Amino acid sequence: MPVPLLRQATAEDTDFIYAVYEATARHLVEGLGRRWAEQLMREKANVEAVDGVTKIVVLGEQDIGFYCAALRPTELWLESLFLLPEHQGMGLGKQLLGQALSQARAADLPLRCQVMSYNPAIGFYLSQGLFLVKEESNSVFLESSAYQETR
């Protein structure tokens, strides 16, 4: 199985991060009859490109997604794990989530994340051992224990 590498995101990655958002989420949003908020998503991509914690996922010499896990005093917060659709289902997300789970275990902290309630990635996170801790109108909150083994 190919191993994805991570490199620091920079301002030059803003358009790529937006393109990943658009490729992975736009159809989901519009499928619910909602309008795609292009300007908001471009601003979000711009912030993530220069926040100092977002990483670009690279396979070979190709950028294929982005990832961000922020260490906080009480948790490792998985801010984002997005892969272009053509790179999903290959075990790459599982490898990246495994790295985050290992980092959380090493820090003796739970891994936590928030996922939009319409996002099919919820099934992925549940299949990897995270569990649902809270539901809100548009999102769910998932968590892993600090000692959980990766699958």
**Domain total of the chain:** 1
Structure confidence by residue, pLDDT tens digits, 110-127: 999 999 998 999 999 999
**Does the residue 125 lie in any domain?**
yes
pLDDT category of residue 146 using cuts at 50, 70 and 90: low
**Does the residue 150 lie in any domain?**
no
> Would you say residue 151 has pLDDT above 50?
no
**Does the residue 38 lie in any domain?**
yes
- For tokens 């991509």, name the residue: 45
Structure confidence by residue, pLDDT tens digits, 34-93: 999 999 999 999 999 999 999 999 999 999 999 999 999 999 999 999 999 999 999 999
CATH of the domain at 22: 3.40.630.30
User: What's this model's pTM, rounded to 2 decimal places?
Assistant: 0.90
**Does the residue 149 lie in any domain?**
no
Alpha carbons 9 and 6: distance in angstroms, whole number: 9
**Does the residue 41 lie in any domain?**
yes
**Does the residue 17 lie in any domain?**
yes
Q: How far is CA 89 from the centre of its chain?
A: 14
pLDDT category of residue 150 using cuts at 50, 70 and 90: very low
